[in-house]
Chains A and B, each alone.
Chain A
Amino acid sequence: MAKELIRLQNLCMAFDDEPVLNNINLYINDKEFLTLLGPSGCGKTTTLRIIGGFTTPTSGDVLFDGVRINDVPPNRRQINTVFQKYALFPHLNVFENVAFGLRLKRVPDPKDSAGKRMVRLTEEEIRSRVMEMLEVVSLKGFENRKPDALSGGQQQRVAIARALVNRPKVLLLDEPLGALDLKLRKDMQIELKRIQQQVGITFVYVTHDQEEALTMSDTIVVMDKGTIQQIGSPEDIYNEPKNAFVADFIGESNIIDGVMLRDKCVKMYGREFACLDGGFAENEPVDVVIRPEDIDIVPPEQGQLVGTVTSVTFKGMQYDIIVDFRGFKWLIQTTDHSPVGARIGVKIDPDGFHIMKKSAYSGQFGDYSSYSDEYDELSDADAVGTDEQEDGYAE
């Protein structure tokens, strides 16, 4: 059983009476790679800054190893941070940047048997630890460069080395790969994961890139508007999204209104479909999530549903096909080409359905009628539904 290292308890944060975090409850295990995932402005950085000690929460507790650390200043926490914009010290070269924490460190004097006297690290020890760390981040030979003479990727690796060299229990990383191009970002994702496993420490990683979160994390925390929407392993989050927001934010999803007739049977478009979910009330209105890759295209006469292809986009590995089913547009990802205007049937296996309870997000996501706008939808802060709509379904 993994050991719990950090716990956030009923954490709330407000800036000038503007709530930014609402009742965050979260625990982080030792040596875990945990990712905070969510759209811009959802409170990821704020959460990280509270763990790091740079921001004091309005209410709630931060526990480290079972001890409340709300009032412990950042310089006394066994936590180091890689800042969103690196924050390297411009007047120091790479070596001195990395050595910064070590030069401040006091360790028990090895010559003092009582272990009470504290001494600084020796110059040789600092040098060997810095060089070892520069080796880990493949920056040997750059010791004497100033930060402004480094590329974005190199600066980022200096920032990681500067934090890791102190052997913290926890490393906080705030969108550390945000400034890098796609290729470098992919390389650094693998590199970071390797470093985390090699040094064996806890990573709390912030990103708004769902793919990055899925590939790197042990645990993902999906946030929106200062509230945790779901916590789980990448597989859990992808396969069993809790609500329309999560389903839509993690990968592509068709989200359709349905009614749960009974266990393992859902009704949509006036038809009954076999599924694997259960535990809902009889005739409970639900959101039905169908991933684009779980849909098979079949001849119309064999289809569970029949629709018209309205657009086809070639994506390299597959085609993105938009199909109109009675005015609601679905995204289907398939390796087979179907021409625009063709009438096609679709077949969905029972394990292709994911049934979610209705939430405030119902009806806001998962329709592909304006496909090209899909990616903008997330940045649209007002896209989330009101309680009114929820009431409408409950009647």
Chain B
Amino acid sequence: MKKNTVLSRAFLFLMFLFLYAPIFVLIVFSFNDSKSNAVWGGFTLDWYVQLFQNQTVLTALRTTLLVSLLATLAATVAGTAAAIGFSSMRRRSRNLCLTVNNIPLTNPDIITGVSMMLLFVFAGQVLADLSAWLNAQSWAEQANLWFNFSFNLGFWTLLIAHITFDIPYVILSVLPRIRQLDPNLAEAALDLGASPLTAFRKVVLPELMPGIINGALIAFTMSIDDFVISYFTAGSQVSTLSMVVYSMVRRRVSPEINALSTLMFVAVLVLLIAINVRQARQDAARQRELRSAGRV
């Protein structure tokens, strides 16, 4: 019995060591006053300073934040609307939709990334052909029109890809809230004179808000975090932070990367903690509610 606990403790320790040792090393060496990743040369913040003077990194940071924010916003709106739509479906079609929704979650990122890239390239080609055909028409020439619908991989394709892979997370976190919703609430609002839109805004939305915010936080984390899908859909002109890290590593391992990775790790960690704290608070509130309901 006793031996068992010692063993399991040791196992747990090893597990955490494997999980966190690399990150720990990374963080420590981001403060290392030496170019080497093996020798400790004293404490410095130089790498962080350099990082913030590196134009490539700063541009990538801006892209990452912009894409993540916009994608989160769009995915939250679309995901919430989809979740509401799902919940008013009949059971069979709802289950079908949920399965379809869950596939991208379990799909390997590489497949999502490659397939989206192919889709964008294909769509770009089709639109380019369409533009060329339109421009060849005599009426276009007479009206002095010049069409150009074609596009290349870049910021917008990156954004669309992020919105796409964020939506399922939002749906998954909003749906349970809708299930808990008393269907009479919206009716009560209508009954009191609210238009359907007002009823949604003043009664349904506040009730769904905790789920929506959770979904948005998860979506944001996923966007900041993503490398594979971004890599395939951003094209050659636009880079996110994770893509910059990757290309820097390919050239040479600089302690600057350690600093950048440390910052990204901390940012994602803060977000995850925020999500978990919210979740725990909500669960506690629900427990309280259930208890008080049981007492009445």
Q: Mark A residues whose CB is within 8 Å of B.
A: 52, 54, 73-75, 79-81, 83-85, 87-91, 100-101, 104-105, 148, 151-152, 162-163, 166, 179
Q: Mark B residues whose CB is within 8 Å of A.
A: 182, 184-185, 187-196, 198-199, 202-203, 206-207, 289, 292, 296
Provide 14 A-B residue pairs closer than 8 Å at the C-beta atoms, listed in order of the A residue: A54-B190, A74-B187, A74-B190, A75-B194, A81-B188, A81-B191, A84-B184, A87-B184, A87-B188, A91-B207, A100-B192, A105-B193, A151-B296, A163-B192
B184: chain A residues within 8 A (beta carbon): 83-85, 87
> In the complex, A81 Cα to B195 Cα: how many Å?
16
**A104 lies within 8 A of B182 (CB):** no
B292: chain A residues within 8 A (beta carbon): 148
13 more contacts with CB within 8 A, not counting A75-B196, A101-B192, are A54-B187, A74-B187, A74-B190, A75-B193, A81-B187, A83-B188, A85-B184, A87-B187, A87-B188, A104-B194, A163-B191, A166-B192, A166-B193
**B189 lies within 8 A of A100 (CB):** yes
> In the complex, A101 Cα to B207 Cα: how many Å?
18
**The 4 residue pairs across chains A and B that have the minimum distance between CB atoms:** A101-B192, A87-B184, A87-B188, A74-B190
A73: chain B residues within 8 A (beta carbon): 190, 196
Q: Which of B188, B193, B196 contacts A89 (CB 8 A)?
A: B188
B191: chain A residues within 8 A (beta carbon): 52, 54, 74-75, 79-81, 163
A-B contact count (CB 8 A): 63
> In the complex, A13 Cα to B182 Cα: how many Å?
23
Question: In the complex, how many angstroms separate the beta carbon of B250 from the nearest chain A beta carbon?
Answer: 52
**A91 lies within 8 A of B206 (CB):** yes
Question: In the complex, how many angstroms separate the beta carbon of B1 from the nearest chain A beta carbon?
Answer: 45
> In the complex, A94 Cα to B199 Cα: how many Å?
18
> In the complex, A75 Cα to B203 Cα: how many Å?
14
**A162 lies within 8 A of B187 (CB):** no
B206: chain A residues within 8 A (beta carbon): 91
Question: In the complex, how many angstroms separate the beta carbon of B207 from the nearest chain A beta carbon?
Answer: 7
> In the complex, A148 Cα to B196 Cα: how many Å?
25
Known: A87-B182, A148-B292. A104 touches B192 (CB 8 A): yes
Q: Closest residue to A98 on the B side, CB-wise?
A: B192
Question: In the complex, how many angstroms separate the beta carbon of B128 from the nearest chain A beta carbon?
Answer: 49
> In the complex, A332 Cα to B159 Cα: how many Å?
81
B296: chain A residues within 8 A (beta carbon): 151-152, 179
**A89 lies within 8 A of B203 (CB):** yes
Q: Closest residue to B187 on the A side, CB-wise?
A: A54
A81: chain B residues within 8 A (beta carbon): 187-188, 191
B207: chain A residues within 8 A (beta carbon): 90-91
**B192 lies within 8 A of A80 (CB):** yes
Question: In the complex, how many angstroms separate the beta carbon of A263 from the nearest chain B beta carbon?
Answer: 52
A74: chain B residues within 8 A (beta carbon): 187, 190-191
Known: A151-B296, A179-B296. A104 touches B187 (CB 8 A): no
Question: In the complex, how many angstroms separate the beta carbon of B133 from the nearest chain A beta carbon?
Answer: 49
